[in-house]
Structure 1
């Protein structure tokens, strides 16, 4: 009898989940009900999936509203009706249109108009499928209404939004958050009626006892509705059934493509390759995944035609079919990759490829997929209320001052000292925390369906213009929709751009194949870069943590890098097995001593330590005796909301039970279980790690043989783990001469001529994009600029924008001091304002006599710091007090187990907490010679000393070695002061301080050298 039920997917309105709704129905002996969330179908599929467990027959609908004003309910008679409702809602959401007061003529859906709406709109005529909803509250007004005589059109519409008073209070708070008002200012029209609750069937029947025809009408309507989606283990995929015209044709095509790929991938093919291929194709056909492979092949083929670089990764790299179709570049035979991790006959959930494109190319690839296939949408995801966020929102709703909100948000309070308002914030914060806040877009998932996506849900349109489903990836998998992951990363942009820069800067050397990675694996120069952790700018191997791990593991080959790529993940470290892996790697015999024989037998290559996601399946299957399907449930259940599902809990109990039956002691069982539990949710599939390692090797090859071109590409793609200034520094250490932006040599992005790198105009923070474009276009059309006057005659620019270029010394090719040029620019533009159209003849320029002016090294450094965000000289040269010593990274070994006094320019800090919740820091710095060194501040020191932004710090601490990796355990730390900025301070003071310890010097390259170089170009 309940035709109008809400969950918390009625965003900032409803107060409980779809499972709570089903539980509420069960408690009240309700056997059928309709889920009608407000302008969304987010909860619908999971509602249908779970309803049988509560002995409830599910029916689906939508509460169509403008704001909180209900226009009508749409209730689906069947799946076609559900699709009709979704299509109608999608049209209005995507076009940002108001819902009309009258429903369209739905063929397979009922329409219920609320009693008040009918009276307000003076509606008199109703279609066959249209009804009037009467709630318990409005029932008392029915005898006095003209609607009483419309007996056949009256149905029970008792809304369900709350379970109790607490839910109602939470609802009011959610409405206040949604309206961004104080609770005391919340309008009653924005709040639902407190009586929108579910009553037992007997109570409801008694309320309508005088109007039995209303109950009968409602019952007939409910019986006429039926919804079915297949959530069984043997459900069929709902994706595109055939890539070509038929499944048979698909199978012939995939066989043909594999045969064509064999000579390219395996010039010396043996029997094992053919056997593996036939085995995979057999499983792929039986599971109905042929079209899935062909769609991915189509996507990467289009990318290749467009010249887009991509990496196919994820568990899909475990497949030889994917390797032959060039979806991935990882040879599963070389790495003995476990195909069953990707697809097996026991696995109900669909397979998963991740395809990375350059961040510049991803949107075009997404557009291609939407244009190429008929039924396409991005996967949605729910952004939920987090603890800090909801406390802040509720603090504002209750009118608390910012200081009190900050205290509550950070958790720095004593509960006994809080006032009543603060206690309410915390009380209702716990209730609202975890509720959906708004619907967003999955980072990468795209659905390509056999049916229109509105068959499954409504869709909305975010700013980028691609339709998005109102359910997430877990629900998509439940219903048989497997996603295509199209991701963006900057690493591929770096590789693509480097190849273009090399072709321009060293065309005679650009005759290599970047995909010939097997040659790279054997290259001693590349492997030495890995072993010595000289990986700045290289994909996935440049972070301090990865650099540290590479040194500890002494990695000098591809397989070692594959393992390191997964060991670095949080799961292995959290389980305590990262350290154990290093120990077993470095000390022969330790694995046999420490590892359980079964674990060592399962994973001999990783010393009996779980490193990859496949290891979870292997341990569950061989150690705990679970079948492959159950093992995969265990693997998937280690992350996300799947962990709380009943099927995962059953497998967990079976894991423990089976181990006990095998005679394992509980100490061992729970030790292995804890490793699985802490590790699996964060681990990579081995094929995924291998894909990452391939890209790392491609990056390292370019760094090894084209270091300057590679660093320019790194900078042009937004850097990487570190700030841009450190990649500029790295390029200088590799032999580049770094030039500030120049109007004759610089582009918008960075560029290189031989070994001279000119910083791009994009680094000038306040320089407008259109000004940069004008300069580059004019120079390309009419040649280099000869003087300031020539520039002003040819480029429309304001004096404010021009001053930025002059201050960075972009006119240094003229040989005139920038202060003199700046005076000339102001005098010229103030007397001859520019007009926004070209002139037939250049204007006559007045000659100005400007006194000689000088620019100091200090001024230039601070000017660069302000305009670029960093200076091109050593920051150590700007210290107020010169360093007391020249200790650096090269001294660490001689100070091993002794104390050292050392200065460092801060690169990055990682703040973390110990198991007891105490704060500690890991910091990476540059020494005075430009080399990198690492420090650690344990909790007692971290509590006493804090990093206060970028700058130079002086450390006193003990040099220690862990597995050959040297670092400094800090005892004392002090941030050093820079010389006062001479542009704003007393120039004499700044210069005197500076000249006591260093001679005046220019940055990078003299004006004379710059002029010579500019003329040569």
Structure 2
């Protein structure tokens, strides 16, 4: 155990710090707290979040990065314990991961500041700024234990690794017996698991506590001191209310009475006093009140901030020993997160070691005709031997076997799956059946996956059918045990809209004002509201309360809100996982989650297996099943016929609705320019419409070269091998990194650090630290400044979102398979796509419309013909028709629909028979009627609802209804017919689609001067106006800020391109309009036409009148009344009026 440096006067270690990972309480990030502690010259800092270790890795990484940068400035590590390499990974720690904008006062942006200089900001009162000296603070990972039925809280600090393991297990016990996000611990738990923990008691205020409370506090401390002698202390925290000396005196007497020595703590909530207002807002959110009603729960001042030793010495002038003990305790706490040792579970079978089993399975895969129809060539065999040797060197065989076994389990259950990501660079993964990208398709840089030059663990992502992934997850739990495996966490942060809503509510703003402000933020925006936009909607951003609200919104954006579960990252250990990190229950039953996210575990060198969900795999598996059922054709992902010209012709027309990855408007805009003709073109198509290539200005040069408009040139012969397949233009992440090594002179280690920065650049903003070296390196090797700048811009773009080539190749397999199915079996594809919902870009209405445009007959939901899923029926001409299933009707349960199908027999003649056979409740029959599923009985929707209503009033089954006399027949009534508009509204309300008519067909007479979408291909048209429902909005993360809208009318869809200036002029319509009129000029790219918007008008206000069109209406324009005034739909009167329904229908799917 390394001792702390010799302390000067006023030396101090802060042992009780709450970060913002005590959600809605702490007002500073762990990184900010650690860096501020370094500025103040603290000897140590303990992160002690409430019943949690969630924030300690971030603090650990921030301190490690600070050491690394200090060492770089000094030219070498200062001393062995400050060496910047992680002992488990052999590489530098990742950069600081604060999720908020740069805070210069905390030197969060360490890459741009000299850590040896004093902070130039004015010092806070009584806290002189210190230059960064040779000693950085020691980090003590700990937790603040809050126990049930116990008046004392405890800062628990482990003295060594076994003590840390017990603390983690203690927290796991509390979390596993509680609901998600809670922890239920008792004093008895602490007595059992507290060995090796320094326990600093944090009692309630003894000056105001009742005598019986003080006695209970004393009794608790006596029990703990007896159980853990020498490990229990009495914490003394200032209250800053003028009574601190009296408070300290009372605590001192308690310490003498219990033999728990007095120790000073700051009970810190923030790194600087400027966060006081935010701390109060967090309290409002936690307590469910507003600033106006917060009262005494508000902080009285900003003193609960980190303080230096001199400030604490003044506060504890009468108790210097309490200050000195902070250093003694810090010296005793010898545990560091670097001490954690992770061991992957052994995969031994029948006495065969892991490496031997792996090599046997790989060689069997090489001999498989399914994997290698022509056998593996010599080059492939040589690469495999190289891969196996490196896997043996790194001892990664158990990891590969675990993934292989998970994949084999899925396939044994007929669950479609496919590996992707950097694993697609591995022939071993292909031979094992983990990935589907054939050797030779891509460059397959195995070093991108595993390298001898770095100790970074491999990362294999496997996608499974999204509907059946839970079977795989539960298999993992059953095989390895919940004490050895868990999902990684995902930290849910405040983004713009949530910050506006929650902070605005706490500040007392009205719901109307909050809705107006939130409406100015696009989707998942991560920035504060724009004052100029607020003025446009009539708000004054300089008004005092609103101005303060905007400041607080900007501060809280990026703060953690709560923990959720990762999309599928599993950590599996040989020893107990709960001794590495606490495990808690997930919101979803049957799942458990660790407290750390993927970046945390990566920083500590812990391997994970990504078990991911992908809707397209569900769609394809269902499509393959339908192919066998209806066409007697058995296919797998690997056996889909390759390089089919008809498939590429379809994609060149941008006929791609429902096709994986290329169905977005941005991709469909690019397909006619790309004109894919071979599989590798799809690899490029998947990767190119991403911020990396776009921001780097690589798209146009590539297309121009591909189309022969620009000569293919290479900046140097050295880069020809790197850029040959992409015509001299870097498009993939691997290429950007190879350029860093080949052209910019980066070492492999530096390139690895650059690659790691890409994954988290959006949150960290640290890629700029590589810029000068990259640009100067390329210039020094003779490359032009323009090319160097473009290459680095591409790297920065990859920080937002970019695909490596191997990842793109894996996805391209699914692009081709889904396109093939759509091209050759449109009915099967549409049926499978509908049965896999929700997924993809388009709602069921658009999938059905597209199927009909491809010649597929679509039949309505029918109580006598439908199943739960959508099904296919053979027509008299041999073609397949699509029968909509009960799943399309909102509010129906699968079990009820299975009962309908099981009791159907030769068909239901009437509503009463359905009721008799199925014994279903009236609300189920009502939903069938609302979905027009009873039309096969000869009933209109309104008549069906009337009959269902009558059944609901019956008290007995019909068999016994006439026992007391002759049955009274239901009187015949003449129900008024519904207009076509009303029918369409009801169709969308119940089914989210209509087979009767498109809303625009009904509204067109009221909107003269429009061009129908199917007329836009006319060569004589230049300037047009179109109108339609907005079915998708897409705002890719590009430098240009372009927005793509898809408008739909009764004739088809139009692709609208909205450039930034037009978006700014018509922002509200673009963001919120459901029915738009767009005027602009047409732009043609081959067979595809785009409308470049010039003016945009929101026509959503006419949608409520949709029910008036197309047929009979009453004098008031409303729905005709039912006989006797009965409500035929149930529920609240008027709740389903067509006018009200139309306001809620026709929602778009928005992507950002």
TM range (shorter): 0.7 to 0.9
Counterpart position of 1:121: 217
TM superposition score normalised by structure 1 = 0.87
CA–CA separation in structure 1 for the residues paired with 2:476 and 2:938: 54
Q: CA deviation at 1:889?
A: 6.2
Q: 1:664 to 1:237 in 2, by over 3 A?
A: farther
Q: CA deviation at 1:120?
A: 4.9
Of residues 286, 292, 302, the one that matches 1:178 is 286
1:459-858 correspondence to structure 2 within 5 Å: 459-464=583-588, 465-504=590-629, 506=630, 509-517=631-639, 520-587=641-708, 589-592=710-713, 599-640=719-760, 644=764, 651-679=770-798, 681-718=800-837, 720-754=840-874, 755-767=880-892, 771-779=896-904, 782-797=905-920, 801-806=924-929, 808-815=931-938, 826-827=949-950, 830=953, 832-834=954-956, 850=972, 858=980
Counterpart position of 1:1009: none
Of residues 993, 1018, 1022, the one that matches 1:898 is 1022
Secondary structure at the aligned position of 2:637 is classed as coil
Cα deviation per residue 1:735-791 (whole Å; 9 max; x = unaligned)?
A: 333222211111122222113322222333355666434323322xx5522333432
Q: Quick check: 1-10 or 628-637, which moved more?
A: 1-10
Counterpart position of 2:996: 873
Counterpart position of 2:1055: 934
1:123-522 correspondence to structure 2 within 5 Å: 123=219, 124-125=222-223, 126-127=225-226, 128-135=229-236, 137=238, 140-141=246-247, 143=249, 146-147=253-254, 149-150=256-257, 152-161=259-268, 162-186=270-294, 188=296, 195-201=303-309, 204=312, 214=322, 218-230=326-338, 238-240=342-344, 242-244=346-348, 249-264=353-368, 265-266=371-372, 267-374=374-481, 375-405=484-514, 410-411=529-530, 412-413=533-534, 418-464=542-588, 465-504=590-629, 506=630, 509-517=631-639, 520-522=641-643
Structure 1: which 5+ residue stretches go unaligned? 992-1017
Secondary structure at the aligned position of 1:156 is classed as strand
Of residues 72, 90, 99, the one that matches 2:185 is 99
Q: CA deviation at 1:564?
A: 0.4
Q: CA deviation at 1:406?
A: 5.0
CA–CA separation in structure 1 for the residues paired with 2:540 and 2:1004: 49
Q: CA deviation at 1:200?
A: 3.8
Q: CA deviation at 1:886?
A: 11
Q: Quick check: 960-969 or 33-42, which moved more?
A: 960-969
Q: CA deviation at 1:16?
A: 2.4
Q: 1:840 to 1:248 in 2, by over 3 A?
A: farther
Counterpart position of 2:1045: 923
Q: 1:391 to 1:893 in 2, by over 3 A?
A: closer
Secondary structure at the aligned position of 1:516 is classed as helix
Cα deviation per residue 1:71-118 (whole Å; 9 max; x = unaligned)?
A: 222110101111111111121123225433563142221222235486
CA–CA separation in structure 2 for the residues paired with 1:72 and 1:338: 51
Counterpart position of 2:55: 43
Cα deviation per residue 1:587-626 (whole Å; 9 max; x = unaligned)?
A: 165232x866655552011112221111112111111121
Q: 1:527 to 1:514 in 2, by over 3 A?
A: farther
Q: CA deviation at 1:813?
A: 3.7
Cα deviation per residue 1:524-576 (whole Å; 9 max; x = unaligned)?
A: 33333223333322221222222222211111221111110101223222222
Secondary structure at the aligned position of 1:470 is classed as strand
Q: CA deviation at 1:696?
A: 1.8
Q: CA deviation at 1:730?
A: 2.3
User: Retained in 1: the 8 A contact 2:1030–2:1046?
Assistant: yes
Q: CA deviation at 1:868?
A: 2.1
Q: CA deviation at 1:339?
A: 1.5
Q: CA deviation at 1:901?
A: 6.3
Of residues 138, 141, 147, the one that matches 1:60 is 141
Q: Quick check: 1:30 aligned with 2:42?
A: yes
Secondary structure at the aligned position of 2:624 is classed as helix
Q: Quick check: 570-579 or 397-406, which moved more?
A: 397-406
User: Retained in 2: the 8 A contact 1:763–1:868?
Assistant: yes
CA–CA separation in structure 2 for the residues paired with 1:534 and 1:601: 34
CA–CA separation in structure 2 for the residues paired with 1:425 and 1:435: 16
Q: Quick check: 180-189 or 877-886, which moved more?
A: 877-886
Structure 2: which 5+ residue stretches go unaligned? 1-12, 68-134, 206-213, 239-243, 519-528, 875-879, 1120-1152
CA–CA separation in structure 1 for the residues paired with 2:236 and 2:1116: 84
Q: CA deviation at 1:733?
A: 2.7
CA–CA separation in structure 2 for the residues paired with 1:807 and 1:393: 38
User: Retained in 1: the 8 A contact 2:704–2:710?
Assistant: no
Cα deviation per residue 1:692-730 (whole Å; 9 max; x = unaligned)?
A: 111122222322333212211111111531110121122
Secondary structure at the aligned position of 1:503 is classed as helix
User: Retained in 1: the 8 A contact 2:979–2:1113?
Assistant: no
TM superposition score normalised by structure 2 = 0.77
Cα deviation per residue 1:257-298 (whole Å; 9 max; x = unaligned)?
A: 011001222233221011010111112222232221111101
Q: 1:111 to 1:912 in 2, by over 3 A?
A: closer
Q: 1:336 to 1:870 in 2, by over 3 A?
A: same
Counterpart position of 1:998: none
Q: 1:811 to 1:554 in 2, by over 3 A?
A: same
Q: 1:94 to 1:983 in 2, by over 3 A?
A: farther
CA–CA separation in structure 2 for the residues paired with 1:347 and 1:964: 49
User: Retained in 2: the 8 A contact 1:313–1:353?
Assistant: yes
Secondary structure at the aligned position of 2:641 is classed as helix
Q: CA deviation at 1:25?
A: 3.2
Q: Quick check: 388-397 or 137-146, which moved more?
A: 137-146
User: Retained in 1: the 8 A contact 2:263–2:326?
Assistant: yes
Secondary structure at the aligned position of 1:111 is classed as strand
User: Retained in 2: the 8 A contact 1:83–1:454?
Assistant: yes
Q: 1:392 to 1:445 in 2, by over 3 A?
A: same
CA–CA separation in structure 2 for the residues paired with 1:527 and 1:761: 35
Computed over aligned residues only, the root mean square deviation of the Cα atoms, in angstroms, reads 3.9
CA–CA separation in structure 1 for the residues paired with 2:642 and 2:303: 70
Count the aligned residue pairs.
975
User: Retained in 2: the 8 A contact 1:323–1:330?
Assistant: yes
Q: Quick check: 884-893 or 596-605, which moved more?
A: 884-893
CA–CA separation in structure 2 for the residues paired with 1:422 and 1:862: 40
Counterpart position of 2:103: none
Q: 1:201 to 1:774 in 2, by over 3 A?
A: same
Q: 1:836 to 1:209 in 2, by over 3 A?
A: farther
User: Retained in 2: the 8 A contact 1:378–1:447?
Assistant: yes
Q: 1:4 to 1:784 in 2, by over 3 A?
A: same
User: Retained in 2: the 8 A contact 1:380–1:439?
Assistant: yes
Q: 1:480 to 1:840 in 2, by over 3 A?
A: farther
Q: Quick check: 669-678 or 978-987, which moved more?
A: 978-987
User: Retained in 2: the 8 A contact 1:303–1:309?
Assistant: yes
